[in-house]
């Protein structure tokens, strides 16, 4: 069996071209979609992510505004910047790059973002509306996975999907979204985690396995049935002396081992990652569109 490679770069590029036309139409109505980004500290990975998101804004013709604070910034200083974005009419979406140096205040910071500007989909109001199937901003990585499946011609409706990982960012919201009565859902979902017994027995029943566990080789060939679809959300640094930087990026699935057994699989990098940024832009453009109603 030759697996279909689900190329997130190609799918996201297609979606971004569609977004460009929407942005042109919004600008004609006097609205330029704007993203406010808050970066606290000097974490290299966070800096890289923020730069990629800002570049995407520029490529699409969107407005972006970055506020940078030192790692020593106080709770009050961080919340003040969030509120400045809340009150800025040019900013339709707010992104606070996580993790924060002080993880203990992350939820309070997220709670401070106005729900109508919560384009990450992390605010409790957004989460509640998602659970009820109401209009809201959906979290970007899970939403990107659903669009990747749809645009690749892989049917979630009626499928048995097993999700490995129960994080609030990926596993739990993705499980909910897949089970909703919607054109991206209607699946039967099993959520597995570190306390699940006989996980492999469950994954071998799945039509689609989505792995977001944060550990290389969590999903191996013996854990899937022939012809299953594998979506790998993980991004891990694995030591590799053959690489100039001393490491390579790998997902949570044994990609090489699964290639000959599954019908479709996402690579790492180049799979789900590009979809996450694209869905952030989708949410920001949607927020700008909604601003015309108010």
107 and 151 co-located in one domain = no
What residues pair up with 34 in beta bridges, in sequence order? 63
User: Who has greater pLDDT, 154 or 239?
Assistant: 154
Kind of pairing, strands 160-164 and 188-192?
parallel
Q: What per-residue confidence (pLDDT) applies to 156?
A: 97
pLDDT digits (tens, 9 = 90+) for 184-225: 999 999 999 999 999 999 999 999 999 999 999 999 999 999
CB 205 within 8 Å of CB 227: no
Q: What per-residue confidence (pLDDT) applies to 250?
A: 87
pLDDT digits (tens, 9 = 90+) for 140-156: 999 999 999 999 999 99
CB 285 within 8 Å of CB 22: yes
Residues annotated as catalytic (active site), given as ranges: 53, 97, 120
Work out the burial of residue 214: count CB atoms within 10 Å of its CB; fewer than 13 is exposed, 13-18 middle, 19 or more buried. Answer: middle
Sign of the alpha-carbon dihedral angle for 248, 252, 254, 256: negative
pLDDT digits (tens, 9 = 90+) for 84-133: 999 999 999 999 999 999 999 999 999 999 999 999 999 999 999 999 99
**176: helix, strand or coil:** helix
CATH number at residue 82: 3.40.50.10860
CB 43 within 8 Å of CB 51: no
Quick check: 238 pLDDT over 90? no
242 and 159 co-located in one domain = yes
Total-model pTM: 0.94
109 and 147 co-located in one domain = no
Confidence of residue 247 (pLDDT cuts 50, 70, 90): confident
Q: Where are the alpha helices (H) located in 101-195, listed in sequence order?
A: 106-112, 124-132, 140-151, 171-179
Number of domains composing the chain: 2
Is residue 193 one of the residues assigned to a domain?
A: yes
CB 132 within 8 Å of CB 181: no
Is residue 85 one of the residues assigned to a domain?
A: yes
Confidence of residue 237 (pLDDT cuts 50, 70, 90): confident
User: Encoding tokens for residue 115?
Assistant: 């729900």
Quick check: 164 pLDDT over 80? yes
Quick check: 1 pLDDT over 80? no
221 and 181 co-located in one domain = yes
CATH number at residue 161: 3.40.50.720
**What are the backbone dihedrals phi and psi of residue 13, each rounded to the nearest 5 degrees, phi first?**
-65, -40
Task: Report d(CA 85, CA 93) in Å as an integer.
Answer: 8
Task: Report d(CA 218, CA 77) in Å as an integer.
Answer: 40
- Percent composition of the chain: helix, strand, coil (DSSP 3-state, to 5): 40, 15, 40
pLDDT digits (tens, 9 = 90+) for 255-287: 999 999 999 999 999 999 999 999 999 999 999
Q: How many residues belong to the chain? A: 294
Confidence of residue 41 (pLDDT cuts 50, 70, 90): very high
Domain end point (choices 114, 148, 170): 114
User: In 3D, which of 188, 181, 182 has the Cα closest to residue 147?
Assistant: 182
Neighbouring C-alpha atoms within 13 Å toward the C-beta of 49: 18
- Computed on alpha carbons and rounded to an integer, the radius of gyration of the chain in Å comes to 19
């Amino acid at each position: 069996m030759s697996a279909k490679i689900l190329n997130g770069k190609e799918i996201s590029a297609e979606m971004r071209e569609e977004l460009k036309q929407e942005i042109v139409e919004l600008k004609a109505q006097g609205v330029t979609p704007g993203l406010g980004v808050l970066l606290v500290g000097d974490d290299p990975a966070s800096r890289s992510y923020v730069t990629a998101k800002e570049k995407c804004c520029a490529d699409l013709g969107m407005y972006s505004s970055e506020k940078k604070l030192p790692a020593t910034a106080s709770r009050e200083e961080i919340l003040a910047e969030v509120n400045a974005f809340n009150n800025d009419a040019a900013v339709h979406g707010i992104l606070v790059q996580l993790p924060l140096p002080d993880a203990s205040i992350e939820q309070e910071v997220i709670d401070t973002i106005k729900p109508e500007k919560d384009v990450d989909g992390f605010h409790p109001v957004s989460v509640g509306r998602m659970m009820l199937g109401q209009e809201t901003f959906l979290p970007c990585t899970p939403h990107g996975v659903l669009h990747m499946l749809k645009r690749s011609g892989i049917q979630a409706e009626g499928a048995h999907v097993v999700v490995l990982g129960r994080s609030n960012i990926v596993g739990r919201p993705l499980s909910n979204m897949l089970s909703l009565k919607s054109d991206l859902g209607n699946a039967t979902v099993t959520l597995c985690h570190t306390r699940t017994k006989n996980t492999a027995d469950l994954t071998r029943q799945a039509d689609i396995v989505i792995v977001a566990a944060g550990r290389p080789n969590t999903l191996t060939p013996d854990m899937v049935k022939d012809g299953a679809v594998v979506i790998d959300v993980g991004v891990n640094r694995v030591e590799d002396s053959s690489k100039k930087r001393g490491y390579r990026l790998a997902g949570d699935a044994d990609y090489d081992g699964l290639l000959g057994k599954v019908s479709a699989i996402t690579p790492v990098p180049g799979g789900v990652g590009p979809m996450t940024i694209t869905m952030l832009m989708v949410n920001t453009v949607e927020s700008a569109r909604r601003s015309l109603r108010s």
